[in-house]
Amino acid sequence: MDSVISLIQAAVVFGTVIMFGCIGEIVSEKAGNLNLGVPGIMYIGAIASLASVFAYESHAAEPNKAVCVIIALAACFGASALAGLIYSFLTITLRANQNVTGLTLTILGSGIANFFGGSLNKMAGGVGQISVAATSSAFRTTIPGLSSLGYFGKIFFSYGFMVYVAIIIAILVNYFLKKTRTGLNLRAVGENPATADAAGVNVTRYKYFATVIGAGISGLGGVYYVMDYIKGTWANDGTIEKLGWLAVALVIFATWKSVNAIWGAYLFGVLYWAYFYIPNLTRASQELFKMIPYVVTIIVLSVVSLRKKKENQAPAHLGLPYFREER
């Protein structure tokens, strides 16, 4: 029983990182922008929050936890949105290729994050690793009382607040895309920008806003990763990049619906950590187990294209540029 609970806990924490990345990417893809820069954006969000909180914690005599959290989130959202803005400017205004721009953003993001992360580790000196204890503990504070409710409390209430924020954002985004006029326009831009344009929707503005805000949400995955998942430290080990690509995979798995991303993310978490809890696995077969989330995504992708159900497809204009002059 204990191992099942610890698997669930690991899966939820893991899933939250990729859920943020995935929801942001859904918003962006719904407007037709296939942003392959998600890993880079998560990197940038992570390092921006870590660096700014590090600066605050090392200057303030007694860091205020609420201020820490606000600084971390604001820095992360701002930096990630800025990365999204670069991507938007290149792909929307300058009409550069989306795949190539996204991949370049990933290269740049991993460069910036690991460069500064490595330097911060050096600056922290001594132990050789940076640590922002106050902020990290603020991110990991659980709801007092509820987390001690036995197994129930452990499964549902033993996490930091970002886990619940992710779920709320997923539901809000779903409501926004499905039930609001703006959301409908946004989906129209992703499905058929020419028609949307003819109907008076400002395609460029929608694409910009969707991609920039989407990038901001994706970046929150980065902040959750550094503050909670690895407890306010930094390591140049490329994990964020791996998780970023899983977030892109999760978008497909969730068939572009953010509520599906909630359970999908936790399922990916269970699949990812399952090898740890299955006894008698050799190290080699553990590696095969880690393949499962990707294989499952491929299967979902194929089945979705096989069944040709309209509501499960990728936005029709995904990855394609829109030039009004070329109609």
Query: Residue numbers of the site for another protein (CB under 8 A)?
Result: 34, 36, 86, 90, 94-97, 99-101, 103-115, 118-119, 236, 245, 248-249, 252, 282-288, 290-291, 294-295, 297-298, 301-302, 305-306, 314, 318-319, 323, 325-326
The nearer residue to another protein, 160 or 244, going by C-beta atoms, is 244
The one-letter code for the residue type at 97 is N
Distance CA 21, CA 132 (A): 23
- Pull the structure tokens for residue 271: 């699949």
Given a contact cutoff of 8 angstroms between Cβ atoms, the answer to whether 49 and 222 are in contact is yes
Residues 6 or more apart in contact with residue 12 via CB below 8 angstroms: 159, 163, 266, 269
Residues 6 or more apart in contact with residue 178 via CB below 8 angstroms: none
Given a contact cutoff of 8 angstroms between Cβ atoms, the answer to whether 32 and 207 are in contact is yes
CB 156 to another protein: min, Å: 31
Q: Name the 3-class secondary structure at 51.
A: helix
Closest by Cα among 20, 76, 64 to 223: 76
Distance CA 30, CA 44 (A): 23
Distance CA 124, CA 131 (A): 8
CB 114 to another protein: min, Å: 4
- Indicate the length of the chain as a whole number: 327
CB 245 to another protein: min, Å: 7
CB 284 to another protein: min, Å: 4
CB 146 to another protein: min, Å: 37
Distance CA 314, CA 324 (A): 22
End-to-end CA distance of the chain: 61
The nearer residue to another protein, 73 or 105, going by C-beta atoms, is 105
The nearer residue to another protein, 136 or 255, going by C-beta atoms, is 255
Distance CA 118, CA 44 (A): 14
The nearer residue to another protein, 162 or 251, going by C-beta atoms, is 251
The nearer residue to another protein, 97 or 129, going by C-beta atoms, is 97
CB 103 to another protein: min, Å: 5
The nearer residue to another protein, 182 or 286, going by C-beta atoms, is 286
The nearer residue to another protein, 63 or 293, going by C-beta atoms, is 293
CB 317 to another protein: min, Å: 13
Distance CA 10, CA 14 (A): 6
The nearer residue to another protein, 65 or 122, going by C-beta atoms, is 122
Residues 6 or more apart in contact with residue 288 via CB below 8 angstroms: none
CB 34 to another protein: min, Å: 7
